[in-house]
Structure 1
Amino acid sequence: MEIQGKLIKKLDQQTGQGKNGAWVKQEFIIETQEQYPRKVCISLWGDKVKDLETIQLGDSVKVLVNIESREFNGRWYTDVRAWRIEPMSKGITPEQAPELPPFNDNLYPPMEGGTDDGLPF
């Protein structure tokens, strides 16, 4: 399943030791860009945690996830686990915006016998 949105928060990394060795987990929150935006908490495990380091708050991302629910003592718990996170666009500040070239007034000179209304036809 694919979820797109804007990264709004990175939670602290969690580490531990299990029967298969050391593990690392990091959760992050994205806000979807739909008519009614939703916030979704998604977790990254293992080496995938490094993929989140290059993405800044405010960046638009595409996240491919698996959704799984499990039962424990009569209650159900749902996990949204990312297996790929890709930046779509970076949130840029006005200082980072590209500079446009200057406008050239002489690009379309006035036609013979015509008025100089700025139109090339």
Structure 2
Amino acid sequence: MELQGKIIAVMPEKSGVSARGEWKAQDYVVETHDAYPKKMVFSVFGADRISRFNIQAGQEVTVSFDIDAHEYQGRWFNSIRAFDVRLVDPATVGAQPGVVPGSAFGPAPEAPAQPAAQPAAAADDKVDDLPF
């Protein structure tokens, strides 16, 4: 999935040691530009990705992410992990007509053309669609 918006918060980096070795993760908050803006917290896992994406507050980005959930002591928690973060030129935000930045659905489809009205049948025409 993808979401476009502005980075409004950069959370402190977290790190630890697991059976596989040392790990690092960092959370960010992105806000969409919809009529009713939405906010989403997403995580970037791995020191290499954190440094490669180099996400800063105030940047306009497109976030590609996966959603997953896990259970802990009878409660469920969502996890939103970014696998790609690309910078967006702020001048192009909202420049595409019909596309709402941050929308996962793209432009709205156009309404199909209405068929031409059929002329009313004359009284002497034997149009009968009754089954008996």
**TM-score (normalised: structure 2):** 0.64
**2:50 and 2:20 mapped to 1: Cα distance?**
18
Residue 111 of structure 2 corresponds to none
| Residue matched to 1:79 | 79
The runs of 4+ residues in structure 1 deviating greater than 3 Å are: none
Shift of 1:59: 1.6
After the TM superposition, which residues 13-28 of structure 1 pair with which residues of structure 2 at under 5 Å, given as runs? 13-28=13-28
Higher share in strand: 1
1:27 touches 1:44 (CA, 8 Å); kept in 2?
yes
Following superposition of structure 1 onto structure 2, how do residues 31-50 of structure 1 map, counting pairs within 5 Å? 31-46=31-46, 47-50=48-51
- Structure 2: gaps of 5 or more residues: 92-132
State the aligned residue count.
90
For residue 58 of structure 1, give the secondary structure of its aligned residue in structure 2. Answer: coil
* SS, match of residue 49 in structure 1: helix
The 1:51/1:90 distance shift into structure 2, 3 A limit, reads farther
Letter aligned with residue 44 of structure 1: V
Q: Which residue of 2 aligns with 1:108?
A: none
Give the 3-state SS of the residue equivalent to 1:36 in structure 2: coil
- After superposition, the C-alpha distances for 1:73-96 in whole angstroms (9 at most, x for unaligned) are 2110000000000000259xxxxx
Partner of 1:5: 5
Instruction: List gaps (5 residues or longer) in structure 1.
Output: 92-121
Residue 67 of structure 1 pairs with residue 45 of structure 2: no
Which residue identity lines up with residue 69 of structure 2 in the other structure?
Answer: S
In structure 1, give the amino acid aligned to 2:84. Answer: R
